[in-house]
Amino acid sequence: MRIVRTVGCFLLLGTAMLRADDFGDVIPDDATPVAFDLAAWCDVAGHRFVFEKTPLAEVIQALGGGKLQYIGDGGDATSYVDYSDGTHFIRFSSNDEMGGDDHALQGVEIRPLSASDQQKMLPRVPPPIRFPFGTLAIPLVGLTHELGHANEHDGVRAYLYLRTAHDAAKDDNGKSLDLETQSSLLVRTYGGKIVALSVNRVTSG
């Protein structure tokens, strides 16, 4: 069994970028805990993709197009494929080390299309994209009713929800492992509505 490390998530809105290091090296203590896996799956046009299981190649095949691309190198490399629903930029991504050779899905980002995005002629997918907590279309009050109120983080105007679970497992040599799975939802709002989000699921041990 592969031993993996935790990586951060990214959320883009316009020209601003919310990076993992905006929250420091670890998820902040005031992240709101939730009772269920926020990133167990996502559904696009009736295709259900399972985080940490569905390869990005399967996402591309199911959605009828798209190109696997790469950022970074070594343990920091990320593979991804980009789409548009006509209004939003959508990225399905995988950390190369943790996603393995199959580039298993680990994150989905959705944000408004920028002018440069519109020039890329991205493959189109139909909205909405559904997650266990709902869709981008729900208002913030609907999300907080479902998940509880999350603290707003200064400077980035974002709300973070987190589920952490521990499971016992064994590696290839039979050694006992304590695997920690973190499922996170990061949302950015405007006028009481969710305008962008990032959903990630990472197992480390």
pLDDT in tens, 1-25: 333 333 333 333 333 344 444 444 4
Tokens (6 digits) for 89: 């930029």
**Residue 61 confidence (pLDDT) above 90:** yes
Token pair 């919310």 is at which residue? 18
**Residue 59 confidence (pLDDT) above 90:** yes
> Based on the structure, what is the number of domains in the chain?
1
- Residue 128, domain extent: 11-204
Tens digits of per-residue pLDDT, 138-192?
A: 999 999 999 999 888 765 677 889 999 987 766 667 676 778 899 999 998 888 8
Identify whether 1 is part of a domain.
no
Identify whether 2 is part of a domain.
no
| E strand spans, 102-157 | 107-112, 129-130, 152-153
**Rounded Cα gap, residues 103 and 84, in angstroms:** 21
**Rounded Cα gap, residues 186 and 157, in angstroms:** 10
25: helix, coil or strand?
coil
**Rounded Cα gap, residues 92 and 142, in angstroms:** 25
Identify whether 6 is part of a domain.
no
Identify whether 5 is part of a domain.
no
Identify whether 4 is part of a domain.
no
Identify whether 181 is part of a domain.
yes
Which has the minimum average pLDDT: 42-46, 101-105, 107-111? 101-105
Alpha helices (H) along the chain:
56-63, 96-99, 115-118, 140-147
Residue 141: closest CA among 191, 69, 74: 191
pLDDT at 191: 85
The torsion angles phi and psi of 88, rounded to 5 degrees, stand at -120, 150
The torsion angles phi and psi of 86, rounded to 5 degrees, stand at 95, -25
Identify whether 128 is part of a domain.
yes
Beta bridge partners of 79: 70, 94
Identify whether 161 is part of a domain.
yes
